[in-house]
Amino acid sequence: MKNLYDINYFENGIESGISCYVNYRWMPDQTISMCNSMIQYAEIKKNDAILDYGCAKGFTVRALNELGYHCRGVDVSRYAIDNADHTVIDKVELIDDENSNVWFKQNKFDVIVCKDVLEHVSYENIDKLLTDFRNSSKKLFIIVPLAKDGCYIAPEYEQDVTHIIREDNSWWTKKLLKANFRIIKNSFIVKGIKDNWSHYPQANGFFLCE
Phi, psi angles (nearest 5°) of residue 141? -125, 115
Q: Name the helix (H) or strand (E) containing 137.
A: strand 137-145
CB half-sphere exposure, 128, CA atoms < 13 A? 12
Asked whether residue 89 is assigned to any structural domain, the reply reads yes
Residue 79 lies in a domain: yes
pLDDT tens for 1-53 read 567 899 999 999 999 999 999 999 999 999 999 999 999 999 999 999 999 99
Q: Is 20 part of any domain?
A: no
CATH number of the domain bearing residue 133: 3.40.50.150
Tell me if 14 is assigned to some domain.
no
- Expressed as residue numbers, the domain containing 205 is 27-209
Q: What pTM, to 2 d.p., does this model score?
A: 0.97
The total of structural domains in the chain comes to: 1
Contacts of residue 120, Cβ cutoff 8 Å, sequence gap at least 6 = 1, 54, 162, 163, 164, 165
As a residue count, the chain comes to 210
pLDDT in tens, 142-195: 999 999 999 999 999 999 999 999 999 999 999 999 999 999 999 999 999 999
